[in-house]
Amino acid sequence: MTEYEPKTINYLADQNLTYMKIKNLGLLSLATGLSLSGANAAAAAEPASDAPKNAGPKKNVLLLIVDDMRPELNCYGHADMVTPNMDALAAQGTLFTRAYCNIAVSGATRASLLTGTRPTRNTFQSAHLYSQEQKPDKIGINEHMKANGYFTIVSNGKTFHYQDDHKAGWDVIRPRNIKQKDYHSYEGQEEGRRPLPYECLDLPESDYCDGYIAEQAVRDLRMLAKQDKPFFYGLGFYKPHLPFNVPKKYWDLYDRDALPIPDNYVLKEGNDIPAVALPNWRELRNYSGIPKKGPVPEDMARTLIHGYHAAVSFTDAQIGKVIAEMKSLGLDKNTFVVLIGDHGWNLGEHGCWCKHSILETSIHVPFIIVDPDAPQKGVRCDEVVEFLSIFPTICDAAGIPKPAQLEGESILPLVGNPKEKGKGWAVCRWLNGFTIVTNDNYFYTEWWDKDDNVTDRLLFDHNVDPEENYNVAEKPEYAKVVKRLSKALRKNRGREFDKYGPEYNIKHAFKPKD
Ligand SMILES: [Ca+2]
């Protein structure tokens, strides 16, 4: 039996925790290694006999979640990006140009979108949470799909932050394969710190976790194609999340010196942006080579931007393997595909890195839907949409009822219909900052104290300032806009905003009972 190696996962303690929890649950065997053998294979080949059979015309659903991927893709107009596989998906489906997550941190955004419910005053705010602990009265989309006749599988990647969250809703859980180290060289590691935030070595793709996940996904699809039930497959890739460790050939796709440093790497004079709006990017500061205080030097900034690009292209290649296998098996004809990045990422804009804010760069996300039955392919939808729409949209595509808990609306009518309109707004938050994004290009944020008094406010007018360089909330000419959006923000912050008290905001507290 292979024992886990602390050195390989010390910078991703949360993922290791997940793995060990699953191990302790007895759901999975470390000895299964690369193969689909043991308990998983049995579970995969022989779904529970009491499960409802439904081999009817229902569509399969593939929900592809990419960790920390902002919409810096070729199909989003970034001509320098090498993302042919996601571009091909967009060409087959509908690309949402103005899609927003509801909170820019992994655990919370996933808990929110996978339950179809908003973050509240006290819940769904952090990375390390169990959705079922914070909102015990809500089901996950996997549970809903399973209850409606779907065979549900979660990959060895990340859908919920923890693979055993809402575990009753998964027929099969794939473990993270610990042989896939994220680091193969520790050159440059400083004592007491994580290694460098990137690695560029000439290694096979399967030496990295996402390479293995793609291989496992291909095996899963072959198994799923033989099922007599439609499937719901939650497949999560870990890159381009830090560290940017991907094979050298993906770094070689880009000319490092030609990659631009953002124009607002240094904040503009007179920006009037409250400090609370800017992420502290502590996540990056934990790595070797990154200053503990102050800005990242331009040389390192360029390397990070290069590494991010390489990691996106690497992930794109893994997605390509999955899509190619779907096509080879004929699954593309009857599979509804949703591809998202779980939130945005700052690549030096405002001098910031990582996520954890309400800036456009933190909340704007890639969002592509491929519906084989859509009236039109290659559609670009410019309506503002939010992640809360994913759960109800999948329900509609699958032809199953929508649970009453859902707070978003289906955007299936927008898929393949370029003239269709949506509700035209999204509400996002980070800590006590709440943002409304509107179709008329305003990004308005208020920070509230515990009594809902406004402590700071921020308005970006993307009509004239798409890079968010100047806060115009206090300008008299925007007074009417501020008043309108302030009202809309409070109205749309969620019907259960105060339902869950502080006692629900539990971190790492879930203890499996069986
Ligand atoms: Ca994430």
255 domain-assigned: yes
The per-residue pLDDT for 258 is 93
106 C-alpha to center of ligand 1: Å? Answer: 4
Q: With 80 as the cut, is the pLDDT of residue 119 above it?
A: yes
476 C-alpha to center of ligand 1: Å? Answer: 38
Give the model confidence (pLDDT) of 373-419 as tens digits.
999 999 999 999 999 999 999 999 999 999 999 999 999 999 999 99
14 C-alpha to center of ligand 1: Å? Answer: 12
Mean pLDDT of 157-166: 91
484 C-alpha to center of ligand 1: Å? Answer: 32
449 domain-assigned: no
- Model-level pTM greater than 0.85? yes
67 C-alpha to center of ligand 1: Å? Answer: 4
72 C-alpha to center of ligand 1: Å? Answer: 15
Q: What percent of the chain has pLDDT over 90?
A: 82
3-state secondary structure string, 250-272? HHCCCCHHHCCCCCCCCCCCCCC
Q: Which of 145, 144, 146, 116 is nearest to 131 (CA)?
A: 116
Separation CA 51–CA 57 (nearest Å):
18
pLDDT confidence band for 266 (50 / 70 / 90): very high
For residue 472, which amino acid is it?
Answer: V
491 domain-assigned: no
Identify whether the C-beta of residue 303 lies closer than 8 Å to the C-beta of residue 198.
yes
Separation CA 113–CA 140 (nearest Å):
9
281 C-alpha to center of ligand 1: Å? Answer: 13
Count of CB atoms within 10 A of residue 481's CB? 18
71 C-alpha to center of ligand 1: Å? Answer: 13
238 C-alpha to center of ligand 1: Å? Answer: 8
Q: Look up tokens 């199909």; give the residue.
A: 75
The per-residue pLDDT for 178 is 64
Which has more pLDDT, 136 or 27? Answer: 136
Phi, psi of 440 (to 5 degrees): -90, 25
pLDDT confidence band for 28 (50 / 70 / 90): very low
CATH of residue 208: 3.40.720.10
Mean pLDDT of 275-304: 96
302 domain-assigned: yes
Separation CA 153–CA 44 (nearest Å):
9
Identify whether the C-beta of residue 227 lies closer than 8 Å to the C-beta of residue 221.
no
Separation CA 72–CA 53 (nearest Å):
41
53 C-alpha to center of ligand 1: Å? Answer: 35
483 domain-assigned: no
Give the model confidence (pLDDT) of 49-98 as tens digits.
333 343 446 899 999 999 999 999 999 999 999 999 999 999 999 999 99
Q: With 90 as the cut, is the pLDDT of residue 26 above it?
A: no
Separation CA 217–CA 224 (nearest Å):
10
343 C-alpha to center of ligand 1: Å? Answer: 6
508 domain-assigned: no
68 C-alpha to center of ligand 1: Å? Answer: 4
52 C-alpha to center of ligand 1: Å? Answer: 34
21 domain-assigned: yes
Count Cα atoms within 13 angstroms, Cβ side, for 6: 0
62 C-alpha to center of ligand 1: Å? Answer: 19
Which has more pLDDT, 48 or 354? Answer: 354
1 C-alpha to center of ligand 1: Å? Answer: 31
CB within 8 A of 379, min separation 6: which ones?
A: 93, 94, 95, 415, 416, 417, 418
The per-residue pLDDT for 181 is 76
For CA atoms 190, 192, 193, 194, give the dihedral sign. Answer: positive
Question: 297 in helix, strand or coil?
Answer: coil
105 C-alpha to center of ligand 1: Å? Answer: 6
Question: 74 in helix, strand or coil?
Answer: helix
Which has more pLDDT, 14 or 92? Answer: 92
102 C-alpha to center of ligand 1: Å? Answer: 12
160 domain-assigned: yes
335 C-alpha to center of ligand 1: Å? Answer: 25
Give the model confidence (pLDDT) of 327-368 as tens digits.
999 999 999 999 999 999 999 999 999 999 999 999 999 999
Identify whether the C-beta of residue 335 lies closer than 8 Å to the C-beta of residue 59.
yes
394 C-alpha to center of ligand 1: Å? Answer: 21
- DSSP alpha helices (H): ranges in 47-179? 84-92, 106-115, 131-134, 141-147
For residue 137, which amino acid is it?
Answer: D
Q: What percent of the chain has pLDDT over 70?
A: 87
303-317 burial: b if 16+ Cβ within 10 Å, else e: bbbbbbbbbbbbbbb
The per-residue pLDDT for 296 is 96
Separation CA 495–CA 429 (nearest Å):
15
Separation CA 32–CA 309 (nearest Å):
34
pLDDT confidence band for 454 (50 / 70 / 90): very high
Question: 468 in helix, strand or coil?
Answer: coil
What is the total count of domains within the chain?
Answer: 1
pLDDT mean across residues, the chain = 88
Mean pLDDT of 482-506: 94
Separation CA 72–CA 484 (nearest Å):
31
Q: Which of 249, 155, 235 is nearest to 204 (CA)?
A: 249
The per-residue pLDDT for 57 is 64
Domain that holds residue 117: 10-423
Q: With 70 as the cut, is the pLDDT of residue 249 above it?
A: yes
Separation CA 449–CA 427 (nearest Å):
18
248 C-alpha to center of ligand 1: Å? Answer: 23
312 C-alpha to center of ligand 1: Å? Answer: 13
pLDDT confidence band for 182 (50 / 70 / 90): confident
For residue 209, which amino acid is it?
Answer: C
